[in-house]
Amino acid sequence: MPARPTMKDVARQAGVSTMTVSRVVNGEPGVMPETAARVHRAIRSLGYQRDDVARQLRRKGQLTQTVGILLDNVADPFMASLASAVEDVARQQGSVVLIGSSRDDPVREREVVSAFTSRRIDGLILIPVAGSHRFLRNAVATGTRVVCADRSATGLKTDAVVVDNRGSANRAIAHLIAHGHRRIAYLGDRLDIWTIEERYAGYLTALAYAGIPADPAIVRHGLRLADDATAAMTGMLAEADPPTAVLASNGIVGLGVRAALPAGTALVSFDDFLLAAQLDPPVTVIAQDPVAMGSTAAHLLFSRIHGDSSPPRTVVLPTRLVARGSGEISGPY
């Protein structure tokens, strides 16, 4: 395996100094065209490519043109769209993207953050897992900008881009109540996830506002997989006084619930998904826009990287209640 050629190799071949090679490589002025041509020939003949590792070291005040994105799970469609939007913005800005999944594990999250910051990333888009993020303070203090997306971090003041989870859930429940439902179930993911907690709070608020007592018998938390949700729904339906309508805390749960749902029971689910409209009945959803979220977060991040040091702000993006049918099934009253 031939070693990677360096500037020294190019310089020798072209009969100039490494400094001149550096100038040519970086398109700096002050090199005679003829000399530059000789250098270019040498570069091509050796297959030289600038080593950005060394470059980043030397130019220390400078940026590494690398940002990180750390999310729950790259395979999740919502996260994947978000990541894709971030990557697009990063590319426009001339940066590359390091990606990592936390898989809801705070330990893994810390490890990945550490692997990222030790590579001197300029900034980080973070979808925080539950738990304190005070460990990020060091990184922030030494110049790594952090923007949270989807959820905000506890124990750390950063920019964040979120949706109004509580208000959206509230609206969805009001929507079901307006269609005559009074016995409305909630099936949800882990309550220690910030978005889920907010959505559940919105559920409770809306019920209270309508004077409907919340009944723990038709509430389930901690559903991680679609199958969990299906089983939970099935179980709930077998009990006395089953719900006439259901709110699902997210897309995965919504899918699972739907598989167990008898005709005539209403469903509203957080998160739009492919095909929601082609199902029978089509599923009413609270749609978020992951692309807008990703690109907003990325733009915010780069404005920080480029020097914006105003106080941290939280951007709240709108959701849309997309009525498709499953949420408009009338209740018994």
Partner DNA sequence: TACCAAGCTGACAACGATGTCGACAGGAGT
Partner DNA sequence: ACTCCTGTCGACATCGTTGTCAGCTTGGTA
Per CB under 8 A, the segment of 8-16, 81-89, 147-155, 186-194 that binds a copy of itself is: 81-89
CA distance 94 to 214: 52
Strand partners, 146: 124
Residues 52-71 that bind a copy of itself (CB under 8 A): 52-54, 56-57, 64, 66
| Binding partner of residue 314 among DNA, a copy of itself, none, CB cut-off 5 to 8 Å per kind | none
- The set of residues, in sequence order, having a beta carbon less than 8 Å from that of 24 and lying 6+ positions away, is 31, 35, 36, 39, 40, 43
3-state secondary structure of 101: strand
Per CB under 8 A, the segment of 35-43, 166-174, 253-261, 325-333 that binds a copy of itself is: 253-261
Q: Which residue in 55, 35, 53 sits closest to 43, CA to CA?
A: 35
Per CB under 8 A, the segment of 152-160, 184-192, 227-235, 278-286 that binds a copy of itself is: 278-286
Per CB under 8 A, the segment of 92-100, 150-158, 185-193, 234-242 that binds a copy of itself is: 92-100
Q: Sign (positive/negative) of CA torsion 199, 205, 209, 214?
A: positive
Q: Does 92 bind a copy of itself (CB under 8 A)?
A: no
**C-alpha distances out from residue 60 to 42, 302, 308, Å:** 28, 19, 20
Please state the length of the chain. 333
Name the site residues for DNA (rule: CB under 7 A). 3-4, 6-8, 15-20, 22-23, 25-26, 29-32, 34-36, 50-51, 54-55, 57-60
The amino acid sitting at 281 is: P
Evaluate whether 184 touches 244 at the Cβ level (below 8 Å).
Answer: yes
Residues lying near a copy of itself in the complex (CB under 8 A):
1-5, 47, 49-54, 56-57, 64, 66, 73-77, 80-81, 83-84, 87-88, 91, 96-101, 108, 112, 114-120, 138, 141-143, 255, 258-259, 273-275, 278-280, 291
